[in-house]
Amino acid sequence: MTEREKSPLQKKIERGHWLVLGVFLAASVLWLPHSFTLGILVGGLVSIANFYWLARDLKRLFGLFSEGVTQTRAKYYILMKFYLRFIVSAIVLYVVITRMPVSVIGLVVGLSIVVISIVLTIVIDNLVHSIRRVRKKNASPVIS
């Protein structure tokens, strides 16, 4: 996906991934052991890579629909891509856990980076828009 094709919210979420990873890494470098920091770094990179890979696969899926591919073939395509992504991630995580001195808890925290950044981005975005609506006195802070 090019930057033009991404929505503003998707751009915010993607920037949020890197921001949350940076904050977690900075905090772990200062206060936690090296193995925990390495776990956060590797887990964060794996989860962010998976996010980008999923976005690319979904874009291709919607492109298949526009080309007139049947729903059955499109379903097969996305399922195969899902299992491929799952297997590649499992192999990478297996190698990381068995060959690198990483903390498994740090790895889990790193793998949670995408989820944390999505939740934070959505909450912050909704709070900012709610405050704008209240200041304009034209809408409820709850209803868009």
CB 118 within 8 A of CB 16: yes
What pLDDT was estimated at residue 126? 81
Rounded-to-integer distance, Cα 29 and Cα 12, Å: 25
Grouped pLDDT means (10 residues each) for the chain, 144 residues:
67 91 94 93 94 88 74 83 93 93 93 94 82 58 54
pTM: 0.79
| Lookup: tokens for 119 | 């939740």
Rounded-to-integer distance, Cα 58 and Cα 68, Å: 16
CB 66 within 8 A of CB 12: no
